[in-house]
Amino acid sequence: MKRKDIKRRPLSDTVLANLEPESKEYRELDGEGLYFRVKPDGKKGWLFRYKKPDGKWSWLGIGTYPEISGANARKKAKEVMNDISGGDNPIITKQQRKQQELEQNNATFESLAREWLDTKLHHWVSDTMVRNKGALEKHIFPVFGKRLYTEIRPIEWMNHLKGIQQEKGIFEQVNRIRAMCRDIYDFAKVTGRIDYNPLEGLQKYLQQGKKENMAHVSEQELPALIRAINNYPTHDVKIGLQLLAMLFCRPSELRGATWDEFDLDQGLWNIPEHRMKKRREHVIPLPTQAIALLNELKSYQTNSDYLFPSRSDKNKPKSDTVFIMALRRMGYEGRQTPHGFRHIASTLLNNRGFDERHIESALAHVKDGVAGVYNKAQYLQDRKQMMQWYADYVTSF
């Protein structure tokens, strides 16, 4: 259809669809400042003509056709007119409106990341969820959260992650953040939203750092550490550190423990699967020293299901930094962490000739694949003897 054949305005859907290109770009008035543009290559779109505060005329793109229909273009043009009449800059308000549309359509990186986090609800323990979600909210969302995830280039990811490493010196944490962001894009890829992952291969170009959360003292230094713990002034925290040293469980497992998980008469601690890293329940035989400590701890506690309730809210456990800060106050920052007690126990028990299967079971290490699913042997009787030997050892100093 030739533009000379247009009979009325606003332009009908038939006219919009059939207008033919010419050797030069042209614009046809639709009405009230809205124009329909046709390029020589046949591409079509919408423009709005408006007067700037300095009195000069300017053009504002409304969108392409047929993605933006005539009715939708007129609606957008009306929004622009309202912005202008209200004294707003139409370009800025258009950008704000586009951002709102992106967020509503779940097209921003933050919305994609939160959708991915939802898939982890039944796979991560609560501490892992809080830690990983917090890392994204602190280091990623302020920079990329409101961006369209398909438009963030690999070089932007590399520069940002390298910048965090150089500025804050948190090399291992940045690599964990990178791995999460890569998985977020993989999620978009397998759900058909992108064709390639912009973080693929990025790990080769980030600086690697030593894991600081595994720091632990040597066997020769252990007696001094145990004596320092035994002299710690805060009773419940002291008992918590003593139990960590004796039971070598994960710090989050002890910190989030509730009294109904314990059978002190039978000497067993049954940690439910939803609190375990590998989502498998774990039973820990309790040595006599641990039972005595738990009974002492119970005499301090009132009105809480938790062994270590928060001081501000008895319905929540203490902060995940409680044991870290205690070790720091004792002068062990960078030398010993709560998780490090697991490494001490593993090394000591292996060096003393205990069965590796019993040690791995005590550490709640699960084999990958079919073997991990079917090998549920917990070696409780053997582990009971091993745990009692270890408790005798760490309380002998």
pLDDT digits 0-9 by tens, 279-289? 788 999 999 99
Q: How far is Cα of residue 242 from the mean position of the Cα atoms in its chain? A: 31
Residue 276, pLDDT > 80, answer yes
Looking at domain 109-210, its CATH class is mainly alpha
Please state the CATH superfamily assignment of the domain spanning residues 214-394 in this structure: Intergrase catalytic core (1.10.443.10)
Q: What is the pLDDT of residue 371?
A: 45
> H-helix or E-strand containing 79?
helix 70-85
pLDDT band, very low/low/confident/very high, at 60 (cuts 50, 70, 90): confident
Picking from 8-17, 85-94, 172-181, which range would have the lowest pLDDT averaged per residue? 85-94
- Tokens coding 273: 């699967």
- CATH 1.10.443.10 residue ranges of the chain are 214-394
What pTM was computed for the model?
A: 0.55
Most confident of 124-133, 156-165, 255-264: 255-264
Residue 157, pLDDT > 50, answer yes
Most confident of 8-12, 118-122, 366-370: 8-12
Taking residues 335-359, report their average pLDDT.
94
| 243 phi-psi bin (left φ>0, alpha ψ -120 to 50, beta other) | alpha
- CATH 1.10.150.130 residue ranges of the chain are 109-210
Taking residues 9-16, report their average pLDDT.
93
Q: Collect all residues with Cβ–Cβ distance below 8 Å to 74 and sequence separation of at least 6.
A: 10, 30, 31, 32, 34
pLDDT band, very low/low/confident/very high, at 90 (cuts 50, 70, 90): low
- CATH 3.30.160.390 residue ranges of the chain are 3-88
Rg (CA), the chain: 31
Q: What is the pLDDT of residue 55?
A: 79
Q: What is the pLDDT of residue 286?
A: 97
Taking residues 354-358, report their average pLDDT.
93
Instruction: List pLDDT tens digits, range 370-397.
Output: 444 444 456 899 999 999 999 999 999 8
The residue whose two tokens read 């392409």 is 64
Q: What is the pLDDT of residue 54?
A: 74
pLDDT band, very low/low/confident/very high, at 52 (cuts 50, 70, 90): confident
Compute the mean pLDDT over every residue in the chain, rounded to the nearest whole number.
Answer: 88
Residue 181, pLDDT > 90, answer yes
3-88 belongs to CATH 3.30.160.390: yes
Instruction: List pLDDT tens digits, range 315-334.
Output: 999 988 899 999 999 999 88
The residue whose two tokens read 């909210």 is 137
Alpha-carbon gap, residue 145 to 141, rounded angstroms: 4
Sign of CA dihedral 8, 13, 16, 20: negative
Taking residues 122-136, report their average pLDDT.
86
Q: What is the pLDDT of residue 393?
A: 97
